[in-house]
Structure 1
Amino acid sequence: MKLIILDRDGVINYDSDAYIKSLEEWIPLPGSIAAIARLSKAGWTVAVATNQSGIGRGYYSEATLQSMHERLCQLVAEQGGQVDLIRYCPHAPEAGCDCRKPLPGLFIQIAEHFNQPLQGVPTVGDSPRDLEAGCAVGCTPYLVRTGKGARSEHKTLPTGTRVFDDLSAVVDHLLEP
């Protein structure tokens, strides 16, 4: 199985320091939906691992988050692809959970779901914590410059991080013959 694990906010959709709190605020980044569909149609299994502490902070409900994820899946399906799995951490930072990135809990859930080790699996994020979570379980890190990525590029990143302009550029790279 060719698996890829994507962060959501800043990679697939626009991010906001004020949180994405409604379906109306959930706006895909240019090219991201088509990129996911291209990966899926090329035989890749697409998983999403996303911190959603706005739930734990009381900014929006799990039902609202579900509507955003349904929209994501619908848009990708309209282009002939699919999102195979979405895992999220609903906890506020002070909750002390093991699923909030940079901890690897979401990645472990994905590995268990697919019954597959994550060694070498590409993970795409826009912040060091996204990549650190994946690297903790052996993923290969890809930073995109969208979202917080342009600022993150100048921070300490996991060894071997590859940097691309956006998710489409990562997909172009992964699908090169």
Structure 2
Amino acid sequence: MLNKDTGYLFRPADLIWIEGAREAVNAINDAGHLAFVVTNQSGIARGLYQESDVRRLHAWMAEEFAASGARIDRFEYCPHHPDGVVERYRRTCPRRKPGPGMITDLAAQYDVDLSRSFLVGDKDSDLEAAHRAGIAGYLFEGGNLCAFVKSLLSRHPA
């Protein structure tokens, strides 16, 4: 949760950063944690945009972070939705939050210690996904994301 939820985001021009987002990722990097983004992208299943649009957005975001000295180690997204209009993506998927699949897949691929991991989200489904994956979840309700993340890093040493 690095940007404001403007609904079905897939164009870089429509992204509105949350205050302190880049600095928060930098703080995570400096603390020795891996930084992952896990995002539901039901707009794909709904036929509003393509997976290539999401990959392009994530590549642009990675460049923006790199320009400020921060790094996202991996972007993960789930394009599925049980009510999707695009048949290929119409299904219930364990990777779709509140399912834990994206988190557990990343943990396995990167040999992540879940006891030292945490997720910051802006929805109850984010926190449920974290809980179901066995990691701490924290609800960010506004303000400066970097200050919020720094307050969590002391509880979760790398």
1:120 CA displacement:
4.3
Structure whose residues are more often strand by fraction: 1
Partner Cα distance (1:101, 1:121) in 2? 17
Aligned to 1:68: 57
Q: Secondary structure at the match of 2:71?
A: coil
- Name the % identity: 34
**RMSD of aligned C-alpha atoms?**
1.8
Specify the code of the residue in structure 1 equivalent to 2:152: L
Provide the C-alpha distance between the structure 2 equivalents of 1:166 and 1:101, rounded to a whole number of angstroms: 24
Q: List aligned pairs for 1:99-110, cutoff 5 A.
A: 99-110=95-106
Q: State the partner residue of 2:3.
A: 13
Asked whether the 8 Å contact 2:44–2:80 carries over to 1, the reply is yes
Secondary structure at the aligned position of 1:50 is classed as strand
Measured in 2, the distance between the counterparts of 1:121 and 1:53 equals 26
Distance of 2:64 and 2:17 partners within structure 1 = 9
In the TM superposition, what is the alpha-carbon distance from 1:144 to its structure 2 partner? 0.3
Please, what TM-score do these two structures have when normalized by structure 2?
0.84
Decide which structure has greater helix share.
2
Q: Which blocks of at least 5 consecutive residues in structure 2 are unaligned?
A: 84-90
Runs of 4+ in 1 over 4 A off after TM superposition: none
Shift of 1:119: 2.9
State how 1:39-50 maps to structure 2 within 5 Å.
Answer: 39-50=28-39
For 1:151, the equivalent position in structure 2 comes to none
Deviates more, 1:114-123 or 1:54-63: 114-123
Q: What is the aligned residue count? A: 148
- Give the superposition deviation at 1:41: 2.6
> Residue 56 in 1 paired to residue 34 in 2?
no
